[in-house]
Amino acid sequence: MTTFIGFNTIDQNKKFTLVDTDLIKRDLLNAFNIRQGELVGRPGYGTVIWDYVFENQTQETLQSLTTEIERVVGGDPRIQVADLQIFPQQHGILIQLELTVIPGQTATLLSVFFNEQTRRASYV
């Protein structure tokens, strides 16, 4: 039984419907790709992670990134963070998230790379 049904045209050829975990992953990636304040009528939606990509990766910066990731994920009532790891990379930041999908209590491991050159977040 499908719990969540949504629509997506990104990286899709013919089938535009996404369901369950695939939809949640797409929605989360959308939230990571939108800078906070860019979405009309929803100034709190999106993220400020892009402001940290060019910063020195100090302990304070990593704590701010952790807080921001938890805030973005917390904006989606379907999921919660089970585990979070941040790895500074040469051209961005790699974030590994273990998310728990609330209705089924299923854990999903995601790796998201924030590329400073293309200014896009993508799954690795």
**50 in Cβ contact with 119 (< 8 Å):** yes
Number of domains, the chain: 1
> φ, ψ for residue 109 (rounded to 5)?
-95, 125
- Kindly give the interhelix angle for 59-74 and 20-33, rounded to the nearest 10 degrees: 130
pLDDT for the residue 64: 93
Mean pLDDT of the chain: 81
Q: Where in the sequence is the domain holding 19, given as residue range(s)?
A: 5-123
Asked whether residue 42 carries a pLDDT value surpassing 80, the answer given is yes
Q: pTM for the whole thing?
A: 0.74
pLDDT for the residue 100: 85
Domain holding 94: CATH number? 3.10.450.40
**35 in Cβ contact with 46 (< 8 Å):** yes
pLDDT for the residue 1: 39
pLDDT for the residue 112: 84
Mean pLDDT computed over 90-109: 80
